Chains A and B, each alone.
Chain A
């Protein structure tokens, strides 16, 4: 029986449900010390002085550092030259949360006490806390070298003025894609131990080899004695692939004081120091005919980079504009983007990274076209879908060569679950009844770019390469260990990879282990991000397993005095097809694979060990159709999701249970962005949502149940056919939710509401209509 496609329970769980997981903060090596930050309370200020005397005098304090202690060191890697963030602020701070000083003490209570004793004297400067403030004439400049606050502006190649002038109809929206804080429940944690035999850094990170490469380069130390370990990691969502000063400071301080140094971020720090996501504003225009057929699309993305732009943040508007047209055939598309710095936390990848922003805007525009033309939103989608026979489909962007999909098929599947005509009648009925809650139905036919990626794609974000490594090693007893460069943090990769390998090797699932997250154990690796762990890393496991299996068959054939092409396997026994009575077990093949006298001619010991650096020729393109049904309380403006219907096309499913979990989790974060979460700053740059009391991560009582369905168009870029599913929900959910809310209020002339759709926003609309 094939395990690929089976609902297999996770290998990860027994440790995690018994308290035997091992997260970085659980490690307490002998002599371990604790590092605590003093972070800027000012959004923009000159540092006049820092008084550390009292802190240094506190018993138990081992070191207090400011930028003066590391003046000779380069800034934090990952930034743009000249605009990068110092490890500790030098002379000026540019956002609330920027590190100003660090204390190391024998325990975390003393370190926190000492941090309280440090006095920083600031000379406040004017701050720009929004895109409009940063771009206003005469705005204070964050980085003098830029001369302004725009880091980069990419103009339209052709603004399509003539197409828009000649179109029967046009419509435009200004859309704010709200800034979100990724908020994994485990904040950033790292532990450095830099002794005579080298540097070991344990880090809550999604890409340990990436960090190893960078930290060794930064310190000019050889990689043979630089080890990075990402043990159990408590969620990442893209935020744990960024280089932050914590990693470099714990390492330096460990070397300085000769003891392990641990940094455990508090939640309040995490909300301002862990990089944020989204934070885009869109100016979008669409030209269309009276039947709702789209003639042209024009999109300008303005990306808030926060105080220090980084490579990933700069890539966000590139991905957004590449995916601007969604799953629609649009004859003319014009894109433009601008990156701007503000006195806020820097911005980078957050689940979906640029693609949720794209799908949100195109799906809002589709509903706007429906509203303008009177054509049903479902029908507008159908009239504009790229048909199934059009793949491969070249878009306006060289990045996005769509390779597969069935957008109409996903919508058809969705409508089997949604009683759309009944809901529309119910909506009308309720509008006539002032005592009834308003009903709204919202659709999103979404498409994303995932499976990062073809050669060159991740290199553009500073990674070594875009392959993923897989080593399949048969042990002498016939069990198998998979080593992977993917570095999971909740995805269930240990389980899915064992499923893939079990099918390819013919070895029992229970006798396959998967090792990850340690650069001293896994030969090389890239990491888990961009929905790549199965589409690239899983494909690597399949390739390497296949190579091992071919050699195992040769050994078995030799032992059975048969020809390798006649060998088959069943229940871990190799035999000649048709004669199962005479067989050789996997354990014997494995054992003898290490004994030169037992091997077929030309084969060396170690033949059952294969390492693959799996490449893929293209990105993958997961897609789907979602429908959200909301009720709105006319008295309070509160939005309640009644039903959330989700049809995904992630290609081949390795484990339906885990795919379901990924969809739910992504959708939950998408609903959270649509209804609850917003990292807010006041005009002076002070964050107003810097604790979990103010930043609304939804609880179980805030979210609905989910009704899921699936179609499958296999990914043509790998033999598994899998596309990736980690980010899909966060791409598809926000437009479905907001389209539903706007639909509920459309009879009041509402065309758009920016996220998050809070009760007060809705209440103001309802009051205004009275």
Chain B
């Protein structure tokens, strides 16, 4: 069974005829070619596929594309600022070495972005708790915590359009 779904992704209207069972992550990666969102598990534990659904962090492996008809999705490709500067969170991950292999990173950045939207000045403990659903195998997490703190401390970061 196919179904027509229209989703605003990173501010752009998209519309496709999809199988009803198509996962949002596969819609993003395979139908739209937005491969920055990764798949790391099949039980919703790892969070590599985290995107923002109307501003809230969701695991796009656990959402059907058809479910988010008429919704707004932001992926890592849409995380940067309008002028092209990295977002404070992207820059925080770079400044604090919050990534190594980079595979979990898009999900981490989106989950952390959602955290700061809700709590602009989280403590270390609040950050660790908020990121419980995102697994990283490389960093041991401390530098991810530092990255989120960096973003919290630099909410107005801009590189003046430099990417």
A: residues with CB less than 8 A from B are 9-10, 12-23, 25-26, 28, 108-109, 183-187, 232-235, 237, 264, 266-268, 489-492, 657-658, 660-661, 664-669, 691-693, 697, 699-701, 703, 705-706, 729
**A697–B75 Cα gap in the complex (Å)?**
25
Given the interface pairs A10-B94, A234-B103, A700-B131, the reply to whether A267 lies near B42 with Cβ below 8 Å is yes
Asked if residues B45 and A693 are in contact (CB atoms below 8 Å), the reply is yes
What 8 additional pairs, Cβ within 8 angstroms, besides A16-B105, A25-B39, A703-B142?
A17-B90, A23-B38, A184-B101, A186-B40, A492-B100, A665-B140, A697-B45, A700-B141
A–B Cβ pairs within 8 angstroms, 17 of them: A9-B94, A9-B95, A13-B99, A17-B86, A17-B109, A18-B77, A25-B35, A185-B101, A232-B103, A235-B137, A266-B41, A664-B139, A664-B141, A691-B41, A691-B45, A692-B45, A697-B135
Asked if residues B34 and A19 are in contact (CB atoms below 8 Å), the reply is yes
Among the stretches B1-9, B64-72, B121-129, the one at the interface with A is B121-129
**A14–B41 Cα gap in the complex (Å)?**
25
- Pick the 8 closest A-B CB pairs, nearest first: A19-B36, A234-B103, A16-B102, A490-B101, A668-B140, A664-B140, A490-B100, A19-B76
Q: Give the secondary structure class of A's interface.
A: loop
Asked if residues B37 and A17 are in contact (CB atoms below 8 Å), the reply is no
Q: Is B117 an interface residue (CB 8 A)?
A: no
Closest B residue to A670 by beta carbon equals B140
**A237–B95 Cα gap in the complex (Å)?**
24
Q: Is B145 an interface residue (CB 8 A)?
A: yes
Residues of B111-161 at the interface with A, using a CB-CB cut-off of 8 Å, are 124, 127-129, 131-145
Kindly list chain A residues whose C-beta atoms are within 8 Å of the C-beta of B93: 13, 17
Q: How far is the CB of A660 from chain B (nearest CB, A)?
A: 7
**A665–B144 Cα gap in the complex (Å)?**
11
Kindly list chain B residues whose C-beta atoms are within 8 Å of the C-beta of A264: 39
Asked if residues B135 and A14 are in contact (CB atoms below 8 Å), the reply is no
Kindly list chain B residues whose C-beta atoms are within 8 Å of the C-beta of A14: 86, 94, 163
Kindly list chain B residues whose C-beta atoms are within 8 Å of the C-beta of A668: 139-141
Asked if residues A267 and B43 are in contact (CB atoms below 8 Å), the reply is yes
Closest B residue to A13 by beta carbon equals B94
Asked if residues A692 and B43 are in contact (CB atoms below 8 Å), the reply is yes
Kindly list chain A residues whose C-beta atoms are within 8 Å of the C-beta of B37: 19
Given the interface pairs A489-B101, A691-B43, the reply to whether A699 lies near B135 with Cβ below 8 Å is yes
Given the interface pairs A26-B35, A186-B101, the reply to whether A17 lies near B139 with Cβ below 8 Å is no
Closest A residue to B145 by beta carbon equals A700
Of the candidates B48, B109, B134, B138, the one having the most CB atoms from chain A within 10 angstroms of its own CB is: B138
Asked if residues A699 and B77 are in contact (CB atoms below 8 Å), the reply is no
Contact of A185 among B29, B79, B104, B133 (CB under 8 A): B104
Asked if residues B76 and A490 are in contact (CB atoms below 8 Å), the reply is no
Closest B residue to A489 by beta carbon equals B101
Kindly list chain A residues whose C-beta atoms are within 8 Å of the C-beta of B144: 700
Asked if residues A490 and B163 are in contact (CB atoms below 8 Å), the reply is no
Q: How far is the CB of A658 from chain B (nearest CB, A)?
A: 7
Residues of B14-51 at the interface with A, using a CB-CB cut-off of 8 Å, are 19, 21-22, 26, 29-30, 33-43, 45-46, 48
Kindly list chain A residues whose C-beta atoms are within 8 Å of the C-beta of B124: 705
Asked if residues B142 and A185 are in contact (CB atoms below 8 Å), the reply is no
Asked if residues B134 and A699 are in contact (CB atoms below 8 Å), the reply is yes
Chain B contact-residue range equals: 35 or more
Kindly list chain B residues whose C-beta atoms are within 8 Å of the C-beta of A729: 140
Asked if residues A699 and B101 are in contact (CB atoms below 8 Å), the reply is no
Contact of A661 among B95, B97, B102 (CB under 8 A): B97
Asked if residues A692 and B103 are in contact (CB atoms below 8 Å), the reply is no
Asked if residues A20 and B36 are in contact (CB atoms below 8 Å), the reply is yes
Asked if residues A233 and B101 are in contact (CB atoms below 8 Å), the reply is yes
Q: How far is the CB of B87 from chain A (nearest CB, A)?
A: 9
**A268–B76 Cα gap in the complex (Å)?**
26
Given the interface pairs A21-B102, A490-B100, the reply to whether A705 lies near B142 with Cβ below 8 Å is yes
Kindly list chain B residues whose C-beta atoms are within 8 Å of the C-beta of A183: 137
**A17–B104 Cα gap in the complex (Å)?**
10
**A697–B137 Cα gap in the complex (Å)?**
8
**A184–B41 Cα gap in the complex (Å)?**
11
Given the interface pairs A183-B137, A697-B137, A700-B144, the reply to whether A234 lies near B102 with Cβ below 8 Å is yes
Asked if residues B129 and A701 are in contact (CB atoms below 8 Å), the reply is yes
Asked if residues B135 and A703 are in contact (CB atoms below 8 Å), the reply is no
Contact of B100 among A22, A491, A691 (CB under 8 A): A491
Of the candidates A185, A658, A665, A697, the one having the most CB atoms from chain B within 10 angstroms of its own CB is: A185
Kindly list chain B residues whose C-beta atoms are within 8 Å of the C-beta of A17: 76, 86, 90, 93-94, 99, 102, 105-106, 109
Contact of B137 among A15, A18, A20, A184 (CB under 8 A): A184
Q: Is B63 an interface residue (CB 8 A)?
A: no
Contact of A16 among B34, B40, B99, B128 (CB under 8 A): B99
Kindly list chain B residues whose C-beta atoms are within 8 Å of the C-beta of A234: 38, 40, 101-104
Closest B residue to A488 by beta carbon equals B101
Asked if residues A657 and B97 are in contact (CB atoms below 8 Å), the reply is yes
Q: How far is the CB of B16 from chain A (nearest CB, A)?
A: 14
Q: How far is the CB of A606 from chain B (nearest CB, A)?
A: 35
Asked if residues B97 and A660 are in contact (CB atoms below 8 Å), the reply is yes
**A719–B99 Cα gap in the complex (Å)?**
29
Asked if residues A19 and B45 are in contact (CB atoms below 8 Å), the reply is no
**A657–B94 Cα gap in the complex (Å)?**
11
**A14–B42 Cα gap in the complex (Å)?**
28
**A13–B45 Cα gap in the complex (Å)?**
25
Closest B residue to A691 by beta carbon equals B43
**A38–B109 Cα gap in the complex (Å)?**
35
Kindly list chain A residues whose C-beta atoms are within 8 Å of the C-beta of B86: 14, 17-18
Kindly list chain A residues whose C-beta atoms are within 8 Å of the C-beta of B26: 108
**A15–B102 Cα gap in the complex (Å)?**
9
Asked if residues B103 and A23 are in contact (CB atoms below 8 Å), the reply is yes
Given the interface pairs A17-B90, A23-B38, A691-B42, the reply to whether A701 lies near B102 with Cβ below 8 Å is no
Q: How far is the CB of A239 from chain B (nearest CB, A)?
A: 11
Asked if residues A18 and B76 are in contact (CB atoms below 8 Å), the reply is yes
Asked if residues A18 and B36 are in contact (CB atoms below 8 Å), the reply is yes
**A109–B26 Cα gap in the complex (Å)?**
10
Asked if residues B132 and A490 are in contact (CB atoms below 8 Å), the reply is no
Asked if residues A12 and B102 are in contact (CB atoms below 8 Å), the reply is yes
Q: How far is the CB of A23 from chain B (nearest CB, A)?
A: 7
Kindly list chain B residues whose C-beta atoms are within 8 Å of the C-beta of A18: 36, 76-77, 79-80, 86, 90, 163
Kindly list chain B residues whose C-beta atoms are within 8 Å of the C-beta of A691: 41-43, 45
Asked if residues A664 and B99 are in contact (CB atoms below 8 Å), the reply is no
**A381–B45 Cα gap in the complex (Å)?**
41
Asked if residues B101 and A701 are in contact (CB atoms below 8 Å), the reply is no
Kindly list chain A residues whose C-beta atoms are within 8 Å of the C-beta of B45: 267, 691-693, 697
Asked if residues B100 and A185 are in contact (CB atoms below 8 Å), the reply is no
**A19–B60 Cα gap in the complex (Å)?**
15
Q: How far is the CB of B150 from chain A (nearest CB, A)?
A: 12
Closest B residue to A705 by beta carbon equals B142
Closest B residue to A204 by beta carbon equals B103
**A112–B80 Cα gap in the complex (Å)?**
36
Q: How far is the CB of B42 from chain A (nearest CB, A)?
A: 5
Contact of A19 among B75, B131, B138 (CB under 8 A): B75
Asked if residues A267 and B46 are in contact (CB atoms below 8 Å), the reply is yes
Kindly list chain B residues whose C-beta atoms are within 8 Å of the C-beta of A232: 101-103
Q: How far is the CB of B74 from chain A (nearest CB, A)?
A: 11
Contact of A267 among B30, B41, B103 (CB under 8 A): B41
Contact of A490 among B19, B79, B102, B131 (CB under 8 A): B102
Q: How far is the CB of A411 from chain B (nearest CB, A)?
A: 23
Kindly list chain A residues whose C-beta atoms are within 8 Å of the C-beta of B22: 109
Given the interface pairs A9-B94, A693-B43, the reply to whether A661 lies near B100 with Cβ below 8 Å is yes
**A750–B142 Cα gap in the complex (Å)?**
32
**A729–B140 Cα gap in the complex (Å)?**
10
Closest B residue to A182 by beta carbon equals B137
Asked if residues A701 and B132 are in contact (CB atoms below 8 Å), the reply is yes
**A660–B139 Cα gap in the complex (Å)?**
9
